[in-house]
Chain A
Amino acid sequence: MTFNRTLKLLLAGAAVTLSASAAMAQTNLRVFISSQHRPDVWRKAFDMYEAKNPNVKVTIETGGNTSEAQAQYLNTVMTAKDSSLDVMILDVIRPAQYAAAGWTVPFNDVIGDVGAYMKRYLPAYAEANTVDGKVVALPAFADAMFLYYRKDLLEKHGVQPPQTWDELAAAAKKITEAEKDPNLQGLSFQGKAIEGAVCTFLLPYWSMGKQLVSDGKLSFDKDAAVKSLKLWKDFVDQGVAKKNIAEVATDDTRKEFQAGNVLFAVNWSYAWGQFQGAESAVKDKVGVVKLPSVKGGQPASCLGGWEWGVSAYSNNKTEAQKLVQYLSSPETSEFMAINAALLPQFPEVYTDPDVTKAVPWFASARPVVETAKARPVTPRYNEVSEIIRTTINGVLAGQATPEEGATQMEGRLRRVLR
């Protein structure tokens, strides 16, 4: 009886010790990736990491195909202080916000010389991920908005890609009139009240050399805002853009262009790969250039891109940080550029021979990404974004004049950034 009991105790003890040591050896990391950012290719990158680090197992969790949907999900997980996620991908507008909320862990202790480490990235990404000297996230990949155009139609009518929005309007009128195709729109952009519409407003606003927020304070230029809203509304009134543009979201622009119904389109880099796909009506007929500017202004693009953050509630912070360093390395960047056509966050990768062989247009994408501007950096970005996108949506739908829109926007922004 006593012997039996002792044996049982010993066995139980051994089992506990064994499982404990197994748990110590094996770290399970759970990574959140948005469904539109090629989790299938990231999986291959994780497989390579697991091969080199046998004690780490990575599982992927996907969700939400818009920036807002992902943010809503992550907000819930983070406010619940849930430890189930270790690493999460964040839209470039969010690292500052997550850091302010205390939801991410800084990398300063693990990356050594912060200045030297961050200098390797394109400056905009080094900046977007550094808040008060703390590196709050590391870049996953870059992105920017481009002007896509129908190379075949522009060549046919002897038109050069436009440098200003006025030139674009003139070119669109000339070509759509000559083509006599009732389905052909001059320009497609994002007018629906989504994150993309914030960029729609900011593109001409920035190209007039104005900033929305400087040093966390509102620096709203009402004249420039009126001009920006008027520019887009005029496209609708002149028939350059279609009347229901206030219903158009990012992927609608992509689909319409891909179906051959659009001459010029404002969109992110992901669209390029789809335009060259087998089902595309515009395969090999697409040109891409930097966005036009207002007359006398400088061209500006909206900085996009995604970052890797480590959850402050993770139980495996150190392992998670190591994984993120690998995911945000030049090697992974090159791998993702070649296999998933994600724009690199390192300048030299754009001209890497393997990359230019796989995605030749990346070489011309670099200057655009380099000059892209970051949307306002503030912990209350969600509110700022909502104000801008509902205002431009209302103006495009004819609910408010550009002047009224700018006045409303200023009043509401002032309340948020008071």
Chain B
Amino acid sequence: MAIAGETTLAARQDENATKRWVRFLDPSERTLAVLLLMPAALLLALIIVYPVCRLVWTSFHNLSLTSGAPATFAGIENYTLMLEDPVFWETTWNTVLITLITVPGALLVGMALALMANLPFKVKWPVRLSLLIPWALPLSFAGLIFAWFFHSEYGVVNDVFRRLGFEGVIWFNSASWAFAAICLTIVWKTSSFMALIILAGLQTIPHSLYEAAEVDGAGRFRQFFEITLPLLKPSIVVALIFRTITALQTFDIPFTMTRGGPGTSTATLAMYIHQNTVDFLDLGYGSALAVVMFALSMAVTAVYLRMIRAKG
């Protein structure tokens, strides 16, 4: 009986779909649809498709604004140059390293912050506010503040070190210390964003689940790993996507803290793109670098999306 009912329903749906399709084939309906979609499509083409196409076009040309010469076709020259350019490899590696360190770092700290903020405080606003402040601060501002914190002579970090009886560190004089200072700043700046997303996820978990688990005799740890973490997964993935893509485009914090120094040891790919296009006005090479970064971001997003789809 039920099976027969379902079949009829499916048949009716089919019929409806066919009707809709026929109606859509009706020229006036189709024109209307196209016309209605046109503004959005044009806008999208203007602000996304055109710049991306233009970027790819420029990356295959010799276009240096300082030479005063018009653009000439260069084929893949900009890309082959990139392969032999040690600074390209160094900045790409630095970018990957920053991503590998600061994304998990910000996730862990963000998770801890979110769990803390989710505790049953009587007065919630001070906790929420302290979460919001680093998130709302402009990136370059955070970079400038921490550059002062880590200054070898006047910085508060070395001051604390000296008061504790240690020798101060010349943070920006060594690639590894400078790198550590940058990663610390990025984690500080971005973990609150992770915390905000995770906190939103935490609040959707029904309290009754924990009560049931407690009745069944599950401890805090078991509750966390069996209930909290699995139910948080969607929020974590969303937070990770956003954070990873911004990490691949890291610019402001190293730019304001070290300008990529000492030497070029803390420069990122985004900084190298900026340098080639804005400082050197070499738009051809800069565009080729930007295409690589674009491809990198797209690849990472694709991996994450696939992860979500597999889970869904």
B265 within 8 A of A: yes
Q: Which residues of B contact A100 (CB under 8 A)?
A: 66-68
Knowing A243-B173, A244-B173, the reply to whether A383 touches B261 (Cβ < 8 A) is: no
Q: Which residues of A contact B105 (CB under 8 A)?
A: none
A102 within 8 A of B: yes
- The one of B81, B263, B264, B281 in contact with A415, judged by C-beta atoms closer than 8 angstroms, is B81
- Chain B positions near chain A (C-beta within 8 angstroms): 64-68, 81, 84-87, 151-153, 170, 172-175, 259-265, 275, 278-282
Residue from the set B66, B67, B259 with the largest chain A CB neighbour count within 10 Å:
B66
Cβ distance A73 to chain B, nearest Cβ, rounded Å:
11
A119 within 8 A of B: no
**Closest residue of A by beta carbon distance from B276:** A383
- The one of B87, B172, B278, B280 in contact with A380, judged by C-beta atoms closer than 8 angstroms, is B280
Q: Which residues of A contact B65 (CB under 8 A)?
A: 75, 79, 101
- Chain A positions near chain B (C-beta within 8 angstroms): 68, 71-72, 75, 79, 97, 100-102, 192-193, 243-244, 246-247, 379-380, 382-383, 386, 390-391, 393-400, 408, 411-412, 415
Cβ distance B174 to chain A, nearest Cβ, rounded Å:
7
State whether A397 touches B261 (Cβ < 8 A).
yes
State whether B67 touches A379 (Cβ < 8 A).
yes
A192 to B170, CA, bound (A): 13
Q: Which residues of B contact A391 (CB under 8 A)?
A: 263
Top-6 shortest CB links A-B: A394-B263, A397-B262, A102-B68, A397-B173, A101-B68, A244-B152
Cβ distance A387 to chain B, nearest Cβ, rounded Å:
9
- The one of B67, B84, B170 in contact with A247, judged by C-beta atoms closer than 8 angstroms, is B170
**Closest residue of B by beta carbon distance from A71:** B279
State whether A75 touches B173 (Cβ < 8 A).
no
A interface majority secondary structure: helix
- The one of A97, A243, A399 in contact with B175, judged by C-beta atoms closer than 8 angstroms, is A399
Q: Which residues of B contact A399 (CB under 8 A)?
A: 174-175, 262-263, 265
State whether B67 touches A101 (Cβ < 8 A).
yes
State whether A393 touches B170 (Cβ < 8 A).
no
Q: Which residues of B contact A247 (CB under 8 A)?
A: 151-152, 170, 172-173
**Closest residue of A by beta carbon distance from B267:** A390
Cβ distance A80 to chain B, nearest Cβ, rounded Å:
11
State whether B263 touches A382 (Cβ < 8 A).
no
State whether A386 touches B153 (Cβ < 8 A).
no
Q: Which residues of A contact B67 (CB under 8 A)?
A: 100-101, 379
Cβ distance A236 to chain B, nearest Cβ, rounded Å:
10
**Closest residue of B by beta carbon distance from A245:** B173
Cβ distance A78 to chain B, nearest Cβ, rounded Å:
8
Q: Which residues of B contact A380 (CB under 8 A)?
A: 64, 66, 280
Cβ distance A136 to chain B, nearest Cβ, rounded Å:
12
Q: Which residues of A contact B265 (CB under 8 A)?
A: 394, 399
- The one of A192, A386, A411, A412 in contact with B279, judged by C-beta atoms closer than 8 angstroms, is A386
